[in-house]
């Protein structure tokens, strides 16, 4: 009798744990539980839905960042130390830091996605810089890069980002 009760409790506990894990995977939002700041009706609804549905891989994001972004923004995301005050030899802005010390965290998730995908020139025609974007990256790869970048930000910056863009 005790053995049957123990087995029943084990089975019910396993089922409950499985349901909790499934619920967490279905309802977690990699962009702080809200799409506040996201441009509703912009035609990018599918992109945001993909980002919310996928379990983003920060380690993949780190690798993709290293291969696609680090040559300008540096391996430790510090950008060019003179990004605020100097221009390069072509008169273009220098790459800013992405580690939370610059302005990246002031931008909505969709805007950051668009900048990585299309470059800054397409999102702001007046921008004087060389951020060209990378249309060869998949949506999931871009969201993974953004998750990696956010994972490097100090806790207080992540908290401010969550307040500004839902969290």
Specify whether 37 is located in the same domain as 13: no
pTM for this prediction: 0.67
Q: Residue 4 belongs to what domain range?
A: 1-30
Give the pLDDT confidence of 117-158 residue by residue, as tens digits: 999 878 788 888 899 899 999 999 999 999 999 999 999 999
49 and 2 share a domain?
A: no
Do residues 87 and 135 both lie within one domain? yes
Q: Which residue has the higher pLDDT, 63 or 38?
A: 63
Task: Let me know how long the chain is.
Answer: 167
Count up the domains in the chain and report the number.
Answer: 2
Give the whole-angstrom CA distance, residue 47 versus residue 51: 6
- End-to-end Cα spacing for the chain: 48
Q: Are residues 92 and 106 in the same domain?
A: yes
Q: What is the CATH number of the domain that holds 124?
A: 1.10.760
What is the structure's pLDDT at 10?
A: 53
Task: Tell me what pLDDT residue 77 has.
Answer: 97
- pLDDT at 8 (0 to 100): 58
């Amino acid at each position: 009798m005790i053995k049957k009760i123990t087995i029943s409790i084990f089975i019910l506990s396993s089922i409950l744990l499985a349901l909790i894990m499934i619920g967490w995977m279905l309802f977690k939002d990699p962009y702080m539980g809200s799409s506040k700041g996201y441009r509703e009706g912009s035609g990018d609804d599918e992109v945001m839905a993909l980002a919310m549905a996928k379990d983003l891989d920060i380690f993949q994001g780190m690798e993709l960042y290293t291969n696609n972004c680090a040559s300008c923004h540096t391996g430790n995301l510090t950008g060019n130390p003179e990004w605020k005050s100097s221009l390069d030899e072509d008169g273009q802005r220098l790459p800013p830091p992405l580690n939370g010390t610059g302005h990246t965290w002031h931008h909505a998730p969709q805007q950051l996605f668009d900048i990585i995908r299309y470059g800054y020139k397409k999102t702001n025609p007046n921008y004087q810089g060389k951020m060209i974007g990378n249309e060869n990256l998949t949506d999931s790869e871009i969201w993974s890069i953004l998750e990696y970048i956010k994972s490097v930000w100090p806790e207080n910056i992540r908290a401010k980002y969550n307040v500004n863009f839902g969290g």
